Amino acid sequence: MAKTVSPKWRNALLAKVHIAKKQMPNLDDDTYRGWLAEMYGKTSAGKLSMHELADFADFLAGKGAAFPNSHKRSGSSRDDFYEVPDGTPFARQKRWIAAMWNALDWKMSGLDTRCASQFGVDKFIWLNDQPALQTLSKDLVGRCRKKGIDPYDAQPAS
């Protein structure tokens, strides 16, 4: 049987359970394993399914474990991604423009800045003027070619 790769969420839940175990000073190993055996018939959290891990983490939270969120999102989006929803006008062209912008290794927030200064539209996603999109895409094609990037197969720079 081939070994399966654990999804990131499962690993995160397992880490959450282990953090909870360490946070509870009165929790000894026998009690911890007793709870696992009683609730799931297993003696190791590593053998729990994803659903069982989530349930056990909630159980430990009810027993007093706290899970502070140390990775608070700042309100800014990722630097290498610009979401263009399916229903957006000219979505395919906008995705291509965003891919070229990313392939040039520029911050995606700069796309909004460029659209605001050149076209008077605050967000790239709101740019629905076909000639303006053509102007932007032609400029990016030229810049990609100048850097040796195939604009028709634009991939993020590594």
- DSSP, residue by residue, 71-95: ----S---TT-----TTSTTHHHHH
* pLDDT 10s digits, 36-61: 999 999 989 999 888 888 889 889 88
Q: What gap in Å lies between CA 10 and CA 53, rounded to an integer? A: 8
Residue range 100-107: mean pLDDT, rounded:
89
Instruction: Look up residue 66 and give its amino acid.
Output: A
pLDDT above 60: residue 145: yes
Residue count of the chain, please give it: 158
User: Model-level pTM?
Assistant: 0.50
pLDDT of residue 108: 86
**Other residues' Cβ atoms within 10 Å of the Cβ of residue 4:** 6
Q: What gap in Å lies between CA 37 and CA 107, rounded to an integer? A: 50
